[in-house]
Amino acid sequence: MELDTGATAWMLMSASLVLLMTPGLALFYGGMVRGKSVLNMMMMSFGAIAVTGVVYVLWGWSMSYGADVAGIFGNPFDQFGLSGAIYDDAGEFIIDDFGVPAIVGIGFQATFAIITVALISGAIADRVKFGSWLVFVGLWVTVAYFPMAHMVWGGGLLSPDGPFASIATPIDFAGGTVVHINAGAAALVLALVIGKRKGFGSEPMRPHNLPLVMLGAALLWFGWFGFNGGSAFTADGTAGLAWVNTTAATCAAILGWLVVEKLRDGSATSLGAASGVVAGLVAITPAAGALSPVGSVVVGAIAGALCAFAVSLKYRFGFDDSLDVVGVHLVAGLWGTVAIGFFATESGLFYGGGASQLAVQVIIAVIAVLFSGVVTLVLALAIRPLGWRVSEEAEVSGIDLAVHGETAYENSGSTITEAR
């Protein structure tokens, strides 16, 4: 295959956009926490970048796309340290079927692993030891993310080559199962195992900086064009369709969320708009290449409304999902994955395709929830001896100063007191 410089440039740009999403997430999450926790929250994202970037080069790529082991993961030693993944026997760069050097695709896929584990951090904000979080990051991407990526995209059990393809070809264009259901289920388990923040449900825990939240949402949206558009793996019509569908669904989700807020609470808020952005982006992720723009509007609007209702479930059921990872990523990820069965233009129920696509989408969604949930539970319990939580004193006085020895704002005393 000859090098296609246009496709290569597109994939390099897409990889850069997806990497930008994690600093964007740091801003989004950082603005949502209280002023005494903003640096720790942002450091959890940057820590995820650091650990996952190293692990992916060593064994992550091989476990995701290496020689298959029982349909669940790739052999970590098959291409350990990217051995055999960059150059062919003649010493030339390996070129994929789209004319893109394989090393570019490796970089692109690494950014997906980074953002996925970083998403989880929002569920356990304000109360977790930074060292324990870093240990969790390395272990979780190894035993949860890489196997899921292999099962869905690497030829494993949930892929078009797997056993469920006899029902219909499973569709996960850019990560509904691999990224959002995976992270959302893990977030729920961690929130339950680690427990609530001190004062949860009895004192206000408002976002300390809403402009920061909106800036973070904007950067996530911008980066998501690499996330979804780049998943076409070349600069073609499918990439363009994914771009338009991503925009349409996200715009509709903002409206869906704001309508629910206005009718329920009397106000359409900036936090609601920013959260609607993320809900729409999550829902369209698995479906971006399979839907029409009109179908994307419907899926996005429903996602926004669903998630606006879902974020309040933590109060009803008493679990402290600090920044609504479960209410947005798990709920919208499930909806987007299942919605393909209704709205896929070539195989969806509403387009005359029958129920087979819907059935397989439900199956892969359920398996993703169960796999991520069980693996995360085992990890969460295994890390308990290290200690998950900071001391009560550190949590009350401010995790930034206690853990990192610094504060976000010069007048941190008044800021922290107000943010409590």
Q: Based on the structure, what is the number of domains in the chain?
A: 1
> What does the pLDDT look like over 336-395, one tens digit per residue?
999 999 999 999 999 999 999 999 999 999 999 999 999 999 999 999 999 999 999 999
Quick: pLDDT tens for 124-151.
Answer: 999 999 999 999 999 999 999 999 999 9
* C-alpha to C-alpha distances, 158 to 73, 85, 119, 162, 411, nearest whole angstrom: 11, 23, 22, 6, 52
Which residues in the chain show pLDDT less than 70? 411-420
Q: What is the dihedral of CA 339, 318, 396, 378, to 10 degrees?
A: -70
Kindly report the pTM of this predicted structure. 0.96
d(CA 266, CA 263): 6
Domain span at residue 267? 5-419
- The pLDDT of residue 412 is 53
Query: How far, in Å, CA of 101 to CA of 4, rounded?
Result: 9
Backbone torsions φ then ψ of 69, nearest 5 degrees: -125, 105
Cα gap 363→286, rounded to integer Å: 14
DSSP string, 136-150: HHHHHIIIIIHHHHH
CATH number, position 71: 1.10.3430.10
> What kind and span of H or E run contains 280?
helix 270-284
Tokens representing residue 336 in the block: 């987007």
